[in-house]
């Protein structure tokens, strides 16, 4: 079963919790067992699993990535559209996660949330694809 939905981002860099949206899609699907694949088809965004309860973790994560991949550090791609760092961060973070589905329930850690990472916002209509296999 294939589903997609869209979100708008509001900052240059932002982490947005998508757990409720994904759990709702899983619930509506009626599927009981399998694999839930969540994929972000964007070259300057990504998706992670981590804690959402403490919002400081999102800030810490973005700050840590900034230290590894500072903006405008001489990237060749910056000559085209100025977002070389965002492309590298997207590659480091990755574009998909896969979670088990058991007895109709998404298996995810108590302190894990599914979170979209914006690295070149703000943007409209960032697409998230959820496929249950």
Which parts of this chain interact with Zn ion (CB under 5 A)? 81, 83
Q: What is the largest CA-CA distance in the chain?
A: 51
Nearer to Zn ion, 51 or 78 (CB): 78
Cβ closest to Zn ion, residue 116 vs residue 119 = 119
Among 13, 44, 27, 35, CA closest to 127:
44
CA 61 – CA 89 distance, rounded (Å) = 11
Kindly provide the b/e burial profile for residues 108-124, where b requires at least 16 CB atoms within 10 angstroms of the residue's own CB: beeebbbbbbbbbbebe
> From the CB of 45, what's the least distance to Zn ion, in Å?
12
Q: Which CB, 4 or 81, lies closer to Zn ion?
A: 81
């Amino acid at each position: 079963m294939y589903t997609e939905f869209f979100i708008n981002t509001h900052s240059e860099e932002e982490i947005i919790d998508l757990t409720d949206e994904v759990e709702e899609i899983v619930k509506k699907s009626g599927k009981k067992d399998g694999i839930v694949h969540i994929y972000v088809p964007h070259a300057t965004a990504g998706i992670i699993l981590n804690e959402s309860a403490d919002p400081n973790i999102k800030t810490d994560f973005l700050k840590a990535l900034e230290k590894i991949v500072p903006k405008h550090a001489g990237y060749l791609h910056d000559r085209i559209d100025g977002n070389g760092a965002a492309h590298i961060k997207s590659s480091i973070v990755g574009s998909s996660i896969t979670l088990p589905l058991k007895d109709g329930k998404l298996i995810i850690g108590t302190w894990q949330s599914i979170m979209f990472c914006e690295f070149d916002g703000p943007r409209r209509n960032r697409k998230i694809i959820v496929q249950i296999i």
